[in-house]
Chains A and B, each alone.
Chain A
Amino acid sequence: MLPGWLIVGASFAYLLLLFAVAYFGDRRADAGRSVIDNPWVFSLSLAVYCTAWTYFGSVGRAASGGPWFLPTYLGPTLGLTLAWLVVLKMIRIARSYRVTSIADFVASRYGKSHLLGGLVTLIAVVGIVPYIALQLKAISSGYALLVGEHDTLFRIESQAGWWQDGTLYIALALAAFTVLFGTRHLDTTERHEGMVAAIAFESVVKLLAFLAVGIYVTYWLYDGFGDLYARASAVPELQRLLAFDGAGRLGYGGWFAHVLLAMLSIIFLPRQFQIAVVENVNEQHLRRATWVFPAYLLAINIFVIPIAIGGLLHFGSGTVDPDTFVLTLPLAHGQNALALLVFIGGLSAATGMVIVEAIALSTMVCNDLVMPMLLRSRRLDLARERDLTGLLLGIRRGAIVCLLLLGYLYFRLAGEAYALVSIGLISFAAVAQFAPVVIGGMYWRGGTREGALAGLLAGFAVWVYTLLLPSFAKSGWLDPGFLEHGVFGLGWLKPEQLFGLTGLDNISHALFWSLLANIGCYVAVSMLRVPTGPEATQGALFVDVFRRGDAPPASFWRTGAEAGELVPLVARFLGQRRTEEAFGAYARSHGLQQVSELKADPELVHFAETLLAGAIGSASARVMVSTVVQAEPLGLGEVMDILDEASQVRAYSHKLEEKSRALEAATAELRAANEQLKELDRLKDDFMSSVTHELRTPLTSIRALSEMMLDDPDIDVEDRQRFLGIIVSETVRLSRLVNQVLDMAKIESGHAEWHNTDIDLCELVRHSGDATLQLFRDRGAELHLHLPESVPTLRADHDRLLQVMLNLLSNAAKFVPTGSGRVDVTLSCDGERLRVAVKDNGPGIEPAQQPVVFEKFRQGGDERSRPQGTGLGLPISRQIVEHFGGRLWLESVPGEGATFSFELPLKSAAGEG
Chain B
Amino acid sequence: MRKGLAGQRLVAVFIAGLVLLNYPILSLFDRPQTVFGLPLLHVYLFSVWLALILVVAWIVERGAR
- Residues of A in contact with B (beta carbons under 8 Å apart): 67, 70, 74, 77-78, 80-82, 84-85, 88, 225-226, 229-230, 233, 242-245, 252-253, 255-256, 259, 284, 287-288, 290-291, 294-295, 298, 302, 305, 546
Contact = CB atoms under 8 A, between A and B. Distances in A.
Contact of A81 (B37, B42, B50, B56): B56
Interface of B: 1-2, 6-7, 10-11, 13-14, 17-18, 21-24, 26-27, 30, 32, 34, 36-39, 41-42, 45-46, 49-50, 52-54, 56-57, 60-61, 63-64
With a 10 A CB-CB cut-off, give which of B36, B37, B45 has the most chain A CB atoms. B37
Contact of A294 (B46, B56, B63): B56
11 contacts: A67-B42, A81-B17, A82-B11, A84-B2, A85-B10, A225-B38, A243-B32, A244-B27, A244-B41, A245-B30, A546-B2
Contacts of A81: 10-11, 13-14, 17, 52, 56
Q: Which 8 pairs from chain A and chain B are nearest by CB?
A: A252-B23, A226-B37, A291-B57, A244-B30, A242-B39, A81-B14, A291-B56, A287-B60
A226 B46 CA distance: 15
Contacts of A77: 17, 49, 52-53
A290 B7 CA distance: 12
A80 B17 CA distance: 12
A546 B57 CA distance: 24
Nearest to B7: A85
Contacts, number: 107
Contact of A287 (B24, B27, B32, B63): B63
A88 B63 CA distance: 15
Given A77-B17, A244-B41, A245-B30, A85 B2 contact: yes
Given A81-B11, A88-B2, A233-B39, 11 more contacts: A77-B49, A81-B14, A81-B56, A85-B2, A226-B37, A242-B39, A243-B32, A288-B60, A291-B53, A294-B53, A295-B53
Contacts of B53: 77, 291, 294-295, 298
Contact of B21 (A78, A287, A302, A546): A78
A67 B18 contact: no
Contacts of B60: 84, 287-288, 290-291
Contacts of B17: 74, 77-78, 81
With a 10 A CB-CB cut-off, give which of B17, B24, B45, B53 has the most chain A CB atoms. B53
A305 B27 contact: no
Contacts of B39: 229, 233, 242-243
Nearest to A82: B14
A867 B7 CA distance: 79
A288 B49 CA distance: 17
With a 10 A CB-CB cut-off, give which of A70, A244, A284 has the most chain B CB atoms. A244
A230 B27 CA distance: 22
With a 10 A CB-CB cut-off, give which of B26, B32, B42, B57 has the most chain A CB atoms. B42
With a 10 A CB-CB cut-off, give which of A70, A88, A290 has the most chain B CB atoms. A290
A88 B7 CA distance: 12
Contacts of B7: 84-85
Contacts of B52: 77-78, 81, 294
A74 B10 contact: no
Contacts of B27: 244, 252
Contacts of A305: 42
Contact of B11 (A85, A225, A295): A85
A255 B26 contact: yes
Nearest to B32: A243
Contacts of A302: 46
Contacts of A88: 2
Contacts of A253: 23
A252 B56 contact: no
A288 B60 CA distance: 7
Nearest to A75: B21
A229 B30 contact: no
Given A244-B26, A298-B53, A259 B41 contact: no
A78 B18 contact: yes
Contacts of A67: 41-42, 45
A606 B14 CA distance: 39
Contacts of B23: 252-253, 255-256
A74 B21 contact: yes
Contact of B36 (A74, A226, A256): A226
Given A81-B10, A290-B56, A294-B56, A242 B42 contact: yes
A233 B41 CA distance: 14
A230 B36 CA distance: 11
A234 B24 CA distance: 29
A290 B60 CA distance: 8
B42 to A, nearest CB: 7
A257 to B, nearest CB: 10
A399 B30 CA distance: 48
Contacts of B10: 81-82, 84-85, 290
B29 to A, nearest CB: 8
A290 B57 CA distance: 8
Contacts of A288: 60-61
Nearest to B29: A244
A67 B41 CA distance: 9
A305 B23 CA distance: 22
A230 B37 CA distance: 7
Contacts of B63: 287
A92 B21 CA distance: 31
Contacts of A244: 26-27, 30, 41
Nearest to B64: A287
B12 to A, nearest CB: 9
B37 A252 contact: no
